[in-house]
Structure 1
Amino acid sequence: MGSYYNIDAILTDAQKVPCTFDLTVPGLGYIDGNVGGDMKEGSKVELPLWLGEMLALSQNLNTSSLVTLDLPTALSPRVLNALKADPRTVDLRAIAPYFYNLGARILELFEEEEMIEVLSETFKARAAVIADQAHNPRGALGEGADFMRGLDENERQLFRAAHDSAKSVRTWIAEMKKK
């Protein structure tokens, strides 16, 4: 978990994940729009990650959890296959604004070796394009604009840092030439 005051961690934990109730819970039907009713065993609902995790890790007297946490759509086999095919063409922002943070949080809960590999390779491939775009004095204009719109928050921060540092180096070189 991130820092209590870390807005990225808070927004990551607010992302919805699919959960399946393993038990009937009296009075919890309002989560699924059934005010005053019960949450029936087998019900599938999307809950914020923080709540789904808490319910999945909680246990009742029978030592079974209240819910089973399922992989979010953002990390489904379909998305992972698209990332394996060409990570540069996937609009991560549309899938999940905090895509890598969500992946890291899910990997704390699930052992998914393939997901680790796919996310690592995706970040490496996309970071190379981000660095190329950031070092271009025109920034993310022209052909790279569509790619840039699809960046998740971590990638946007990486772009800003790389762009600002490239701009600072150009300014420094110009100042050195004047001396």
Structure 2
Amino acid sequence: MIQLEDRHYIGEGEIRFCYEHPNKKGLCIKIPRPETTRAYTNKELLYFKKLSKRNKTKYNYPFYSDFYDEIQTNKGLGQVFDLVRDETTGKISKTLEYYLIQSNEIDDKKLENALLELKHQMTKHKVFTRDLRARNICCKINKDGSIRLIIIDGIGHRDFFPFADWFHYFSQKKVDRTFTKWHFNSIDEQRNFLKKG
């Protein structure tokens, strides 16, 4: 059993608490809140199981935090995912929300380019999210100073007929709708949306 302590705590969302994996620097463990149903978790893990069958060497870069396994901890059953860290410092990457609201250290043009690339990767590889919030996206700073946006939560969709999984036309339409729904058609649009919220 993995022992999670307060020093391992990273943050929390509406669904889960997130902790650094005590033994593996590149992984985190997410513990569902008591009110989160097992059915919700199972749906998400089913989607990751489907993604696991793909050839991910075709990805330009890992644009979402991948799921590995479930593990027993002193805080309950947890799910193990990639933990995103900046290459420049080795520290846990900050969220896009942080850089849009609390810090201006990353140029908007870099963020805009990274956002377009994320959208391209999602469309090309038919990977979808039901909850595209700025707090669910990490900004990974690479050694060369470039930025990669990586989705850390909300991967999956609820389509009964998953045409977007099969056809590029529907994939593009679905990603476009998601970006519009969550005010991600530009960095400025997202920043204004966050400020109003």
Q: State the TM-score, normalizing by the size of structure 2.
A: 0.26
Q: Which has the higher strand share?
A: 2
Q: State the TM-score, normalizing by the size of structure 1.
A: 0.27
